[in-house]
Structure 1
């Protein structure tokens, strides 16, 4: 191979680095107060040209889907690494991480829903991943009689998403979330049944 010709692995590393810079800039903008940020501004902040941006993400929808999927993967990985003293504590610790995710990604979910239906593959595929990752945590918590048996995982996750959608600052929303967690605990006297 001639010396002046870059090797393909270096090109791949550079392309991946550009992709990650774009995602980091877009994620920060959508997590903050800039949900309407333009693709041109994302390109500028990431320090890449528009051609590079569109080579990685042909449109805004693809960029939003990539951020959503990456964040879902992080929530799923958290289900494998979250810790607690009991199965119920592990499950509620993971629910706290899911709540933070749901709160921060409200703008992305809203914009995605303006482009696709709620049963779109980007939502259904990622919902299935979350259910598969967190299902064993709920099962263990219910088997230990720490979490009530009469709620399904879907009901619990829907409740968390609904709480995360409430408008207000953390001081307003956090007590609502904690009250919901209290409501998940098995009623007194049911341990061992």
Structure 2
């Protein structure tokens, strides 16, 4: 078959092959892997790769677009759920499932929420506001322990991400840790006070999880 339709189908297949190669390379070598490495894995020339994705940021966003949309959708659904604990629980479960599914996703999350100003910064800040609002609603409903802090969620996701990195095929361990964490977050009688919360925000999650040696501290 020849013609415009066939060419478009070939282009879609080639694009998906490049994106699959990018996800594999980012999972193996981190988000800073070279574009040349991605091109070699995909079996295309570097110039071809750059024509389709002019920057690494564009490639990362395209490679993990579905995961990003799933994460954003989970937060939207959690905010809309009349039961704030159920919304919070499902949000945690969704993000943990994404961490299990794609080893490169935590580093891609950094590309979605950069420190630079602009539209992406506004997206990150809105996500942080929504998470805080969800936490406050769950606490007001008496479902989430009163001393839970937003940074505790980041810390929990870091812990889960480290487990997934160490045991990438052990989904049983992942689900058990997630269940332990969620149970510990529930409000209950006679809870001992926790130490003060850590200085963590969403921007700390991916780089710490993907590159333990590159520690950044969020402003307190």
* Cα distance in 1 between the residues matched to 2:52 and 2:90: 35
CA displacement 1:109-137 (0-9 Å, x = unmatched)? 45998xx9x97449x83653532343333
* Cα distance in 2 between the residues matched to 1:55 and 1:142: 49
* Cα distance in 2 between the residues matched to 1:19 and 1:157: 36
Query: Is 1:75–2:76 an aligned residue pair?
Result: no
Query: Is 1:152–2:149 an aligned residue pair?
Result: yes
Deviation at 1:146, TM superposition (A): 0.5
Deviation at 1:108, TM superposition (A): 5.1
Are residues 85 and 27 of structure 1, via their aligned partners in 2, closer, same or farther at CA, if it must alter by over 3 Å? farther
On the 8 A contact 2:25/2:38 being kept in 1, the answer is no
Deviation at 1:28, TM superposition (A): 5.0
Unaligned residue ranges in structure 1 (runs of 5+): 1-5
Query: Is 1:39–2:38 an aligned residue pair?
Result: yes
CA displacement 1:84-106 (0-9 Å, x = unmatched)? 67320111011111122234454
Q: Which residue does the alignment assign to 2:99?
A: 102
Query: How does the TM-score come out when normalised to structure 2?
Result: 0.56
CA displacement 1:161-190 (0-9 Å, x = unmatched)? 222211221122221111010000011389
Are residues 108 and 99 of structure 1, via their aligned partners in 2, closer, same or farther at CA, if it must alter by over 3 Å? closer
Count the aligned residue pairs: 172
Query: Is 1:141–2:138 an aligned residue pair?
Result: yes
Deviation at 1:159, TM superposition (A): 1.4
On the 8 A contact 1:26/1:42 being kept in 2, the answer is yes
Q: Which residue does the alignment assign to 1:128?
A: 125
Instruction: Tell me which structure has the larger Cα radius of gyration.
Output: 1
Alignment equivalent of 1:25, drawn from 20, 23, 35: 20
Unaligned residue ranges in structure 2 (runs of 5+): 192-220
On the 8 A contact 2:75/2:91 being kept in 1, the answer is yes
Tell me which moved more, 139-148 or 50-59.
50-59
* Cα distance in 1 between the residues matched to 2:98 and 2:116: 19
